[in-house]
A and B are shown apart, each in its own frame.
Chain A
Amino acid sequence: MSTQRDIDWNALLEVLVLANWNTRVVVLGVTALGIAGGVVGTFMLLRRRALLGDALSHATLPGIVLAFLVASALGIGGKSHGILLLGALVSGTLGIFAVHWLTSSGRLSEDSALGVVLSTFFGAGAALLGLAQQESSASAAGLETFIYGKTASMLVRDAILIGATSIATVGCCVVFFKELRLICFDPDFARGHGMRTGGYDFLLMSLVMAVVVVGLQAVGLVLVIAILVIPAAAARFWTNMTGRMLLTSGFIGGLGGWLGTMLSALAPGLPAGAMVVLALGGIFLVSLLLGRRRGLLRRIIRLRRRALLMERDHALRAIWECLEQSGTHDCLGSHIGFRRGWATFRTAKRLQHAGLLVVEAVEGGDERISFTPSGEREAASVVRRHRLWEHYLMRRADFDEQHVDRGADDLEHLLPIDLLEELEKELDADTRAMLPSPHSLHPDGPGGGGS
């Protein structure tokens, strides 16, 4: 099967426009499942119940097999889908109550209880499955699909069930938005106001249960937790608001479902359940890197900006203090160590481009540096901020003269305006006048890129 194939453009097009009826059913069903998983999963994550969801999905197995055994014994057709899902529902609920009972008596911590319930229920399910297959191997063959999922076998009525469940669960999350958010954020406060937090917790777990049960056939009980956890976890990198997180997470869930089933339809042999989870994993990775609020790239950019700001401030202050000491309007680059490091030289170039500095080449490879009017204003404010902070540290925090320069350096670049005003008040400083430096200035200036 793994021989190289030419891309069959017709097949690709057929999948993309959902020409095939079967593909259409599967793609729409799984996309709806992804949306519901993303929305419900957001509250599950915020309530810190992700592992409970995992235990729940594993706890459905014995119920499915038992329902099958009972139904075939009664002769009402063991493969009746509704009966199997009902079994899953009952068994999952029992699993949750088992966890609740184990933890509420205070005998077991939550993670241990989850581990015990998850593995015991799943083990029981696996044992029953073996039994069922021995009894009636032919009709029990379909049961295994609940473990890893078999999306391709999805029927129209399955897709309709998923669609209806998605609408109902998403609707619940919208209608009870403020209550669910409150019990996730501050359950004690909610209870103090007379809210039945237990009831809302029950509602939340019922929503999780609904998504798990209808998702069993699509992605299987091992992986169904992924469509609840991954979209919400990824969405958190993009936003700082609960409402937007709900939207983003639903979108990511739907996108993952669509992408995964498409990939699986394009390459027969790749199971859709696994592809959906992999697609979600890919989206998570992208969110982790590029997320607008907490992504790594944003963090790196912020640190970089801060470093550039500090370099700029250092250079401006070095020049300003050099001019202050000499009482002239310009100074030589060599005097303030401009050629000492690449970083300072580059900073000078940047300041020149920004219209703050005038740099003229003079003989001997040196340059003459002076401020433009706006550069001088900017430099004065930088120096003033540095000195305010130095004075404050010396007076209030008992820094000595030698160390105050360094201590001020670390923080002054980040001081907000209102704090500066407070410093001024604290020091009774004139709001415009320049302060004297509290320590003697180094002969060649404090700049030089951290020498």
Chain B
Amino acid sequence: MSIRTSQPSLGSEHSPDSPLSIHAMTVAYERRPVLWDIDLDITPGSLVGVIGPNGAGKSTLIKAALDLVPKLSGEVQVFGRPYREQRQHVAYVPQRESVDWDFPVTVLDVVCMGLYHTLGLFRPVNRRIRDRGMQALTQVGLSDFANRQIAQLSGGQQQRTFLARALVQDAALHLMDEPFAGVDAATEQTIVSLLRDLQSRGRTTVVIHHDLQTASEYFDHVLLLNTRVVAFGPTKEVFTPENLEATYGGKLTLLDQASQALAGHAQGVGR
């Protein structure tokens, strides 16, 4: 489909060994900018918390990086190359609510989906895939639930199923959308130790997080996001009251005003 005429053009502005490097990325839904001129270079081996108010574009950041939503402009590179060439190195954990948990599949079925791309077309899920799926389930403490239907799981167990589906890929970069949302204390501890384990094995993880209380404890880097990058860096330097105020502050920034005016305009035209 795609005609590849040029090498990644803005290569010089990307840091080539960064697991995730975003340059001048803007994303808009129906003319309303959700992300504006994002520039980021994630440090290899870091554990990054993405923090910001509702509607700040946190999920969109991940989805745009994975080409799940169209970008208005900008470039994303994964380990120095476009994402579509690097898919096997990236594991994505979507929000738990993004799927129908009443779907007729078992826990192990879902986890094995993480390895479908290693199977060819027409090849059914085999023993090797199932064994690796079971290993990942053991890692998240769900091996006893492998053959349960997913509707029979608690919210925390569902989240751990999604994590296992990502772990089974053995990826170098993990992108997780709100893995801590609505989980029990036991699951929260499991996830934290999994994140630490990934980091100790040199993997990079980007986690969208909603709880300011635990952010500085869980992550060594934070990205404060509110349509633009408010601040990004090591937690100790960046996670300051001033920066949080700037991220969550009630004052409308100029950009907010402009985008609201645009949205109002679009509605007026629509009627």
User: Footprint of B on A, CB under 8 Å?
Assistant: 46, 106, 175-179, 181-182, 184-186, 188-189, 191-195, 236, 239-242, 245
A sample of 20 more A-B contacts (CB under 8 A), given A186-B99, A242-B103, is A46-B104, A106-B30, A176-B122, A177-B124, A178-B124, A181-B105, A182-B113, A185-B100, A185-B105, A186-B113, A189-B113, A192-B92, A193-B117, A194-B87, A236-B104, A240-B149, A241-B105, A241-B149, A242-B104, A242-B109
Per-residue A-contact encoding for B96-112, CB less than 8 Å = 1, 0 else:
00111001111001100
A48, chain B: closest CB distance, angstroms: 8
Bound state CA distance, A241 and B113, in angstroms? Answer: 15
Per-residue A-contact encoding for B26-37, CB less than 8 Å = 1, 0 else:
000010000000
User: Footprint of A on B, CB under 8 Å?
Assistant: 30, 63, 66-68, 84, 87, 90, 92, 94, 98-100, 103-106, 109-110, 113, 116-117, 119, 121-122, 124-125, 149, 151, 165
Chain B residues with CB below 8 A from A178, complex form: 116, 119, 124-125
A–B complex contacts, Cβ < 8 Å, 10 sampled: A106-B30, A179-B121, A188-B63, A188-B98, A189-B92, A189-B113, A241-B109, A242-B103, A242-B105, A242-B109
Residue of B whose beta carbon sits closest to that of A107? B270
Residue of A whose beta carbon sits closest to that of B84? A194
> Does B98 lie within 8 Å of A186, measured CB to CB?
yes
Bound state CA distance, A78 and B229, in angstroms? Answer: 67
A89, chain B: closest CB distance, angstroms: 26
> Does A192 lie within 8 Å of B124, measured CB to CB?
no
Residue of B whose beta carbon sits closest to that of A242? B104
Chain B residues with CB below 8 A from A239, complex form: 104
Bound state CA distance, A106 and B270, in angstroms? Answer: 11
Q: Is the interface of A mostly helix, strand, loop or mixed?
A: helix
> Does B98 lie within 8 Å of A194, measured CB to CB?
no
Chain B residues with CB below 8 A from A184, complex form: 103
Residue of A whose beta carbon sits closest to that of B123? A178
> Does A194 lie within 8 Å of B113, measured CB to CB?
no
B269, chain A: closest CB distance, angstroms: 12
> Does A46 lie within 8 Å of B103, measured CB to CB?
yes
> Does B122 lie within 8 Å of A175, measured CB to CB?
yes
> Does A191 lie within 8 Å of B68, measured CB to CB?
yes
Chain A residues with CB below 8 A from B84, complex form: 194
B133, chain A: closest CB distance, angstroms: 13
Among the listed A175, A179, A192, which residue makes an inter-chain contact with B87, where contact means beta carbons less than 8 Å apart?
A192
Chain B residues with CB below 8 A from A182, complex form: 113, 116
Interface centre among B68, B94, B104, B165, by most chain A C-beta atoms within 10 angstroms, is B104
Chain A residues with CB below 8 A from B117, complex form: 193-195
> Does B99 lie within 8 Å of A185, measured CB to CB?
yes
A42, chain B: closest CB distance, angstroms: 9
Closest 10 interchain pairs by CB? A240-B149, A192-B92, A193-B117, A192-B66, A194-B87, A186-B99, A240-B104, A185-B103, A242-B104, A245-B104
Chain A residues with CB below 8 A from B165, complex form: 189
Bound state CA distance, A192 and B84, in angstroms? Answer: 9
Chain B residues with CB below 8 A from A236, complex form: 104
B100, chain A: closest CB distance, angstroms: 7
> Does A189 lie within 8 Å of B94, measured CB to CB?
yes
Bound state CA distance, A179 and B121, in angstroms? Answer: 8
> Does A241 lie within 8 Å of B106, measured CB to CB?
yes
Bound state CA distance, A181 and B149, in angstroms? Answer: 15
Chain B residues with CB below 8 A from A195, complex form: 116-117
Bound state CA distance, A182 and B114, in angstroms? Answer: 10
Bound state CA distance, A106 and B122, in angstroms? Answer: 35
Chain B residues with CB below 8 A from A245, complex form: 104
Among the listed B87, B98, B99, B106, which residue makes an inter-chain contact with A193, where contact means beta carbons less than 8 Å apart?
B87
Among the listed A175, A179, A186, A241, which residue makes an inter-chain contact with B94, where contact means beta carbons less than 8 Å apart?
A186
Chain A residues with CB below 8 A from B110, complex form: 185
B92, chain A: closest CB distance, angstroms: 5
Chain A residues with CB below 8 A from B87, complex form: 192-194
Bound state CA distance, A184 and B100, in angstroms? Answer: 10
Bound state CA distance, A154 and B173, in angstroms? Answer: 59
B85, chain A: closest CB distance, angstroms: 10
Chain B residues with CB below 8 A from A175, complex form: 122
Residue of A whose beta carbon sits closest to that of B103? A185
Chain B residues with CB below 8 A from A188, complex form: 63, 68, 94, 98
Chain B residues with CB below 8 A from A194, complex form: 84, 87, 117
Chain B residues with CB below 8 A from A185, complex form: 99-100, 103, 105, 110, 113
B91, chain A: closest CB distance, angstroms: 9
Bound state CA distance, A242 and B108, in angstroms? Answer: 13
Bound state CA distance, A265 and B87, in angstroms? Answer: 57
Bound state CA distance, A175 and B117, in angstroms? Answer: 16
Chain A residues with CB below 8 A from B122, complex form: 175-176
A331, chain B: closest CB distance, angstroms: 41
A327, chain B: closest CB distance, angstroms: 41
> Does B103 lie within 8 Å of A193, measured CB to CB?
no
Bound state CA distance, A177 and B116, in angstroms? Answer: 12
Bound state CA distance, A194 and B169, in angstroms? Answer: 14
Chain B residues with CB below 8 A from A179, complex form: 116, 121
Chain A residues with CB below 8 A from B151, complex form: 240
Chain A residues with CB below 8 A from B90, complex form: 192
B164, chain A: closest CB distance, angstroms: 13
Residue of A whose beta carbon sits closest to that of B65? A192
Chain B residues with CB below 8 A from A193, complex form: 87, 116-117
Bound state CA distance, A177 and B124, in angstroms? Answer: 8
Bound state CA distance, A176 and B165, in angstroms? Answer: 20
Bound state CA distance, A46 and B100, in angstroms? Answer: 10
B201, chain A: closest CB distance, angstroms: 22
